[in-house]
Amino acid sequence: MNNICVIFDLDGTLVDSEGLCNQAFLDLLPQLHDPLESLTERYRGQKLSSILIDLENRLGLNLPDSFEQHYRQRVAELFARNLKPMPGVLEMLATLNSPKCIASSGPLPKIRQALEVSGLAAYFGNNLFSSYEIVSWKPDPGLFQYAARAMGFVPSQCAVIEDSEVGIEAAIAAGMTPLYYVQTGVTSSYQTAGNVVFDDMSQLPQLLAQFANMNQSNR
């Protein structure tokens, strides 16, 4: 399947980090009483600066300038102790022979730590692309477009694996084929919007093989 490129989101797609990232808000903001599950769904795939603005508006406070640094530090601590790959990801990556990369809204140090702790680093090498490096955040297509160019592929050859609605929007805007990973028990309006949806990482190699075959026949 060398005729396609697989672009992976990271948080909530390859690593089970969404809950940890939102637990850090609960740890640092005692006045925040949202259940962890509702916070996770509210902020899934969002850029941090937008989340902080929303928190300020909802809580009626101004966060100190040092909050982002403390937040990043707390997330790193939680990752070091608790971060795991999403179910089935290690087995899936072991069978996937397509060129692949990561395109994440997180900063590179966070991406690298997540991959090292979860045991996924060897599968991606330096094929890591961050919104902070490109200065483009989902749902803008710029990050995915940059990743495709860097990997040597045109958008129509790229499948994007995402777990967030903003990521799906970005993939579509970039002219790529999104494959929407929705964990069992999580609901989304995008499940009924004509997107390819799957809930088990063991299904992904077959979905990618179908995409590769379609891509080959359309050339």
Ordered strands of the 100-104 beta sheet: 128-130, 100-104, 5-8, 158-162, 177-181, 196-198
* Tokens, residue 50: 């937008």
Q: In the predicted model, what is the mean pLDDT of residues 34-60?
A: 94
Distance CA 4, CA 211 (A): 8
113 lies in the same domain as 180:
yes
The neighbour count for residue 81, using CB atoms within 10 Å, is: 9
CATH code (residue 21): 1.10.150
64 lies in the same domain as 35:
yes
77 lies in the same domain as 152:
no
- What is the number of domains present in the chain? 2
60 lies in the same domain as 136:
no
Q: Could you tell me which residue, 194 or 140, shows the higher pLDDT?
A: 140
pLDDT of amino acid 194: 62
pLDDT tens by residue, 144-159: 999 999 999 999 999 9
Question: Is 128's pLDDT higher than 70?
Answer: yes
pLDDT tens by residue, 193-202: 567 899 999 9
